[in-house]
Structure 1
Amino acid sequence: MSNDTRLEEMLAHLSRQVEELSDVVARQDREIATLTRRVEMLMHREAERESEMGGTVPMADQKPPHW
């Protein structure tokens, strides 16, 4: 196998890998955007819930009486 043939094969494999990685990065970007929107929504809901409670500490976040 000549050097030119080996180089062409390597280039073909690298090109395919770059395309596959590009697809992965694009998918991850979409997932990150979706997760970011969900976190923002949850933070907004929690802020509303806290404002409705009058700023009191939820029971789950309070220290037990023996502390």
Structure 2
Amino acid sequence: MTETATQEMQERMAYLERTVSDLSDVIARQDREIQTLTRRVAMLMQREAERESDLGGTVPLADQKPPHW
């Protein structure tokens, strides 16, 4: 293997390592965002279920099947 070929492979490896690191950072950020959004949706569903219960509803809307089912 020539010196040029070795250098090219090292450059490609460095590029790939950087790409993997960047993608890992994106995935970690998205995971945090998904966790936050999941907690918020659960909180909103709980609030809505409590509100519907306070209004005298029989089954919270969040627990009902859609009409097309």
Q: TM-score, length-normalised on structure 1?
A: 0.79
Which of 1, 11, 14 is the matching residue for 1:12? Answer: 14
Which of 14, 26, 29 is the matching residue for 2:28? Answer: 26
Q: Give the Cα–Cα distance (whole angstroms) in 2 for the partners of residues 47 and 3 of structure 1.
A: 65
The one-letter code sitting in structure 1 at the alignment partner of 2:37 is: L
Q: TM-score, length-normalised on structure 2?
A: 0.77
Could you tell me the percent identity over the aligned residues? 62
The one-letter code sitting in structure 2 at the alignment partner of 1:48 is: E
RCO greater where, 1 or 2, for CA within 8 Å and sep 6 or more? Answer: 2
The one-letter code sitting in structure 1 at the alignment partner of 2:19 is: Q
Q: Give the Cα–Cα distance (whole angstroms) in 1 for the partners of residues 4 and 19 of structure 2.
A: 23
The one-letter code sitting in structure 2 at the alignment partner of 1:39 is: V
Q: Give the Cα–Cα distance (whole angstroms) in 1 for the partners of residues 37 and 13 of structure 2.
A: 36
Which of 21, 36, 39 is the matching residue for 2:38? Answer: 36
- Return structure 1 stretches of 4+ with deviation > 4 angstroms: none
Alignment gaps of 5+ in structure 1: 57-67
**In structure 2, what is the equivalent of residue 2 of structure 1?**
4
How many equivalent residue pairs?
56
Alignment gaps of 5+ in structure 2: 59-69
